[in-house]
């Protein structure tokens, strides 16, 4: 049996004994006024009016003394228990206050980290975008340089092919001019020989008056052949120059 149950049993037994032995004494207690008193006032009134009452019978005084002791010890135990409960409540409140401060600190730290994370993410996205743009620009420049190099290579290849074709054509033309020049030189030598032979023969048949015009025609014909030969040589030199 618990202490509370034991106390209740003791009080009930004491009141029953008091009521059976001295009914008038029990009636002397004003229940309405007792209910209005707090615990301290009730114990003080009980001690003053009954426990210390010199006119009360000894048995009643013993019962009341026992009741007073029980009530007082119960009151003290309740006070101790109340104090312990209050201390526990205060301890819990202190722990709660500490936890509340810790939560606030952690919450502020989380908010700060969240903001920093958002800022870092924004900065990272910006740097990533700039890096992607730079990579695209470098790729574009490389592609443009590659295309330009291909165009230059194609242009150079076509230029070399064109130069080779021109050189081949010039060589053919030079060979043809050389051949014509040789033919002209041979023809000129032949003509010169024929003129010389004709001149020798004419010296025997022409008079002095006829020799002058004849010699002039021969000189003019020779001069014309020399001019044609010089023109052919100049044309050959121009064709041999690089284009």
Share of the chain above pLDDT 70, in %: 60
pTM beyond cutoff 0.75: no
Q: Which residues contact 243 (CB under 8 A, 6 or more apart)?
A: 163, 166
The pLDDT tens digits of the residues spanning 69-101 come to 887 888 888 889 999 999 999 999 999 899 999
Q: What is the mean pLDDT of residues 210-222?
A: 64
Angle between helices 208-240 and 58-205 (to 10 degrees): 170
Eight-state DSSP code of residue 28: T
- Rounded CA-CA distance 106/112 in Å is 10
* Average pLDDT estimate for 8-37: 46
d(CA 75, CA 188): 162
pLDDT tier, 206 (very low <50, low <70, confident <90, very high otherwise) = low
DSSP one-letter code for 220: H
């Amino acid at each position: 049996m618990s202490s509370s149950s034991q106390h209740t049993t003791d009080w009930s037994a004491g009141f029953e004994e008091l009521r059976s032995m001295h009914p008038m004494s029990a009636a002397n207690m004003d229940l309405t006024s007792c209910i209005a008193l707090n615990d301290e006032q009730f114990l003080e009134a009980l001690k003053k009016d009954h426990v210390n009452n010199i006119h009360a019978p000894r048995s009643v005084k013993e019962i009341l003394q026992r009741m007073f002791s029980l009530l007082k010890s119960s009151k003290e135990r309740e006070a101790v228990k109340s104090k312990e409960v209050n201390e526990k409540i205060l301890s819990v409140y202190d722990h709660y206050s500490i936890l509340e401060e810790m939560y606030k600190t952690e919450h502020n730290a989380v908010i700060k980290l969240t903001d920093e994370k958002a800022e870092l993410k924004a900065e990272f996205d910006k740097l990533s975008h700039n890096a992607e743009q730079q990579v695209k620009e470098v790729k574009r420049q490389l592609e443009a340089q590659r295309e330009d190099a291909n165009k230059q290579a194609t242009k150079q290849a076509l230029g070399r092919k064109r130069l080779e074709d021109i050189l081949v054509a010039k060589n053919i033309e030079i060979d043809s001019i050389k051949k014509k020049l040789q033919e002209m030189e041979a023809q000129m030598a032949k003509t010169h020989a024929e003129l010389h032979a004709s001149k020798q023969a004419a010296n025997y048949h022409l008079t002095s008056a006829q020799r002058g015009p004849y010699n002039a025609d021969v000189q003019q014909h020779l001069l014309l052949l020399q001019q044609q030969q010089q023109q052919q040589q100049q044309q050959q030199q121009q064709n041999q120059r690089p284009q």
